[in-house]
Structure 1
Amino acid sequence: MEQLVTFMLMIATFVLLYFMMVRPEKKRRKKYEEMLTTLKVNDEVVTRGGIMGKIVNLQEDFIILESGPDRTRIKIAMNGIATKAVTEK
């Protein structure tokens, strides 16, 4: 009987860990991938390195950003994008 209680507690712990760790991560990843698929030319984005720029060209796995006053163009991997920049109006 004691072994059954221990086993049930172990199962409950794994279920709790799933709902506290795995499920939120899947939800976050899905939201991130959705954001990547909705990117378009002229969107302002922030890279994982903190560079802010405007998308000037979209390719399958890469994007070209224009950044800075000199309008420098940077080619980065699609997964290098952290978020869309929030623009104040």
Structure 2
Amino acid sequence: MNFMNVLTADASAQAGGGALSLLITIGPLILMFVIMYFILIRPQKKKDKETQKMRQNVQVGDEITTIGGIIGLVVSLKEDNVVIETAGERNKIRIKRWAIQSNATIHDDLEG
């Protein structure tokens, strides 16, 4: 018996249990994707949803911080634009809603 006959005999023996072999091969890969979904993707989607809710609930008079680090009070709100007033010389800056990083003002009606 030469080496090629051994390889073909081994390949034909493995072909008989194809479904179980395929499940054993692909199973860990599927399990890894499921674990990654619950550890990485799902919490990030939840955080994004909370951030979006915070940005939509900004009110006039709130103290916010922008993604650039500018801290100011909200003076006016329009659909997608927010005008903030910074401390000191009371400069007014117009920013987009998506540029709000955090809201330091706590509203009692939004908690809970």
TM-score w.r.t. length of structure 1: 0.91
Within the candidate set 100, 105, 109, 1:81 is matched to 100
Name the aligned partner's letter for residue 97 of structure 2.
M
TM-score w.r.t. length of structure 2: 0.73
Extract unaligned runs of 5+ from structure 1.
Answer: none
Shift of residue 86, structure 1, vs aligned partner: 5.8
Number of residue pairs the alignment of both structures matches = 87
Of structures 1 and 2, the larger Rg is shown by: 2
Conserved in 2, the CA contact under 8 Å of 1:52 and 1:85? no
Q: Matched residues, percent identical?
A: 36
Shift of residue 85, structure 1, vs aligned partner: 2.1
Conserved in 1, the CA contact under 8 Å of 2:82 and 2:96? yes
CA RMSD in angstroms comes to 1.3
1:58 corresponds to 2:97: no
Extract unaligned runs of 5+ from structure 2.
Answer: 1-19, 107-112
Structure in which a larger fraction of residues adopt helix: 2
